[in-house]
Structure 1
Amino acid sequence: MTRMKTGIVGCGNISSIYLQNLAASQWIEVTALADRILEKAQERADEFGIATACTVDELMADPSIELVINLTIPASHAAVHLAALEAGKHVYGEKPLAVSLEDGRLVLEEAAKRNLQVGCAPDTFLGAGVSTARRAIEEGLIGRPIGGTAFMLSGGPESWHPDPEFFYAYGGGPLFDMGPYYLTALINLLGPIQRVSSSAGIQIPDRIVGSGPKEGTPIVVQTPTHLAGTLDFAGGSIVTMIMSFDVRGGAELPRMEIYGTAGTLSLPDPNFFGGDVRLRRADSEEWETLAPIFESDHNERGIGVEDMVKSIREDRRHRANGELAYHVLEVMHAFMHSSAESRHITLESSYKVPEARPDSLKL
């Protein structure tokens, strides 16, 4: 088997875990790194023993590269995706698929036109945490799912991130930054979302960079920092969701719970691959921890790319795919529009959930 030659665009913090994990891949060989700051690409290449550090244009022009992994900031996602597709390469990117719905559609249309594949993070839903919860639902341990909750409550990233302004620009905020983890997990568990209603606001507009060379610099907040909404799923479940960068005193709410006619599931943080899944049956006062259906005790970031390349070779649909990422993107935009327009938003896209991750898929 010949591994697919792959180039990575964007050599910031997140690139390290991808390079670490993909070094052991049976399906992928990273041969080139690119960044708008060439020195960053060279540093990563030296660190991980990658032969080529180059400009983005040079990477796109390399005919040996079949796949581009796009790890740039959200505002650059669509442009890099399109450049890769126009160069005849498959593309997998960090979340979100794009900032605007229009750009997200363009990416999928360009891929379809060229018979290329698009993949998108997060792939944490392929970890043991969400996979174990999905098995429990499919086996009827909580009966028929009727609802759930999803909470991401924090004080924002500016206290620890050295360059946090992009978190507060258009396409950022808690919803676009962290929402994809929660929404992707929920869709994998409960199916496609049909309707959204929400309220959103900039509750704490005064922000200061708290560390690094920009410490003390004011941040211009351009996107909602606290969003609360209701998700109506096509299958009938109703989920309450709150995403916030405005909770400075901490909170004790669970990350995610799924409620059924015969019990409740408590899920771990969907930003991670593992963690305990707990079940409380309707006739019990005790929580029980479910045995994970496979081991997932490390950061498996990149497992979605592995599945994508394997699926290309086997001519099947991969799991962390562009259609899922677009459905998540439309849900996030519906959050924004619902609040701005004071109405429910019915989604145009849907999604057919693929088969669960097989035990054989590993990184």
Structure 2
Amino acid sequence: MARQSHRIGILGSGNIFGRYVTGLARYPELEIVRVGDIDPARAKQAATDHDIPAWGDDAELYADASVDIIVNLTPPVHHARTIITALESGKHVYVEKPLATTVEEGRAVLEAAARSGRILGSAPDTFLGSASQTARKAIDDGLIGAPIGASAFIGHSKAETWHPDPRFLFQPGGGPVMDMGPYYVAILVNCLGPIQAISAASRIGAPHRPVTSPGRAVDSIEVTVPTHTAAVLTFASGVLGTAQMSFDVWDSDLPFMEIYGTEGTLSLGNPNHFDGEVRLRRHGDASWSVLEPVVGLFGAVGTKEQARRGLGVRDLADAIEGGPHRATGSFAFHVLEALCAVEESSQQTRVVHLSSTCERPQPRYPA
């Protein structure tokens, strides 16, 4: 069955903009027709650079009746307000992670989506990629037996060396928990189901950070959020997960993510990528084996394609057309509440029980 065409407006033309343009180019039925930014000059430059026909400020994007999907790439502190405005303007919305920066804002966003009758989708969507889907199928097929535990390790992205303005990563709404944590938690929830409770501790590492990236907007950053966090995640299934999330660990030999079962172990690559090796070692195996991907690759492993984005926007378009919706607002809200619980637990030195739950998303691989 032929797919419907959708006209997309992108709100925000910052660092990740090009990755979405590149990724969405895979889908000719998803046409980017407008760029909106609070800085119209920046929107014009982005539109010119990528041959997008219309540009303007954010209000012009909301008012453009030809746009049916807004892809929201604004900084996290602006997500809730801009999502609600876009929904109220009659657009379907796909937003970069995290859904919002607080649980209260996240609830307001879900309520606005329900009122609007529009569909809300949210990153992270890397759990839709071949790596997480392959791991999910291995677990569901019993290749590691009954899941018992999981570990996740987030090291430094070294953004000070490559991002032109990384200040937002070290301010409320940023930090390793809110910046990189969504990718890891989303994949764990996709593989293991919803989280029930969290206990965590955190601290600020280096309070001042020099910025050395080419074309940088600032020379140094004053850190105002924790940059090193250790957490224990209790899943509703009884699985126990441990997570270290840090902007202070620059080098390490630890794996990105492992899932342990009664009969074996799965090892996954970088959750920030859609694709990568998924390794299995069952008890008694002499070595690790690499599992064949159960869905096609979104980007060639080890190339710049691996950084592109847009699979979640295609997922949203599928939902508009009546298909399954996987990267939903409610899934993203559960991930957000888990990450906020990490911060709350570390501040209050107590176990935090989550109020939300979610279904594991429908797999992308054939039944």
Instruction: Name the TM-score class by shorter chain.
Output: over 0.9
1:150 deviates by 0.2
Question: Which residue is equivalent to 2:197?
Answer: 195
Distance 2:8 2:157 in 1: 37
1:124-150 superposed Cα distances (whole Å, 9 cap, x missing partner): 111111111111111100000010100
Contact in 1 for aligned 2:71/2:95 (Cα 8 Å): yes
What is the identity percentage for the equivalent residue pairs of Structure 1 and Structure 2? 45
Matched to 1:68, the amino acid is I
1:233 deviates by 0.3
Question: Which residue is equivalent to 2:253?
Answer: 252
Distance 2:213 2:265 in 1: 41
Q: Give the aligned length.
A: 358
Question: Which residue is equivalent to 1:343?
Answer: 350
Question: Which residue is equivalent to 1:352?
Answer: 359
Tell me the SS of whatever aligns to 1:7. Answer: strand
- Map 1:117-132 to 2 at 5 A: 117-132=119-134
Contact in 2 for aligned 1:208/1:215 (Cα 8 Å): no
Change in Cα spacing, 1:106 to 1:13, as seen in structure 2 (3 Å) is same
Contact in 2 for aligned 1:125/1:188 (Cα 8 Å): yes
Question: Which residue is equivalent to 1:312?
Answer: 320
Contact in 2 for aligned 1:155/1:246 (Cα 8 Å): no
1:329 pairs with 2:307? no
Contact in 2 for aligned 1:338/1:345 (Cα 8 Å): yes
1:146-182 superposed Cα distances (whole Å, 9 cap, x missing partner): 1010001227421222211111000100111100000
Give the counterpart of 1:301 among 278, 297, 309.
309
- Map 1:216-231 to 2 at 5 A: 217-231=219-233
Contact in 2 for aligned 1:119/1:320 (Cα 8 Å): yes
Contact in 1 for aligned 2:163/2:216 (Cα 8 Å): no
Tell me the SS of whatever aligns to 2:180. Answer: helix
Question: Which residue is equivalent to 2:272?
Answer: 271
1:8 deviates by 0.5
- Map 1:1-363 to 2 at 5 A: 2-154=4-156, 156-214=158-216, 217-248=219-250, 250-296=251-297, 297=300, 298-299=305-306, 301-314=309-322, 316-358=323-365
Matched to 1:312, the amino acid is I
1:217 deviates by 2.7
Query: RMSD of the TM alignment (CA)?
Result: 1.7
Distance 1:27 1:100 in 2: 34
1:101-142 superposed Cα distances (whole Å, 9 cap, x missing partner): 111111110110111111111111111111111111111000
Distance 1:173 1:166 in 2: 8
1:317 deviates by 4.1
TM-score, normalising length from structure 1? 0.95
Runs of 5+ consecutive residues of structure 1 not aligned to the other structure: none
Matched to 2:340, the amino acid is H
1:199 deviates by 0.4
1:56-109 superposed Cα distances (whole Å, 9 cap, x missing partner): 101101112111100111111111101101111111011000111111111110
Contact in 2 for aligned 1:27/1:306 (Cα 8 Å): no
Distance 1:262 1:220 in 2: 47
The 4+ residue runs of structure 1 with deviation greater than 3 A are 212-216
Matched to 2:331, the amino acid is L
1:281 deviates by 0.5
Distance 1:229 1:258 in 2: 16
TM-score, normalising length from structure 2? 0.94
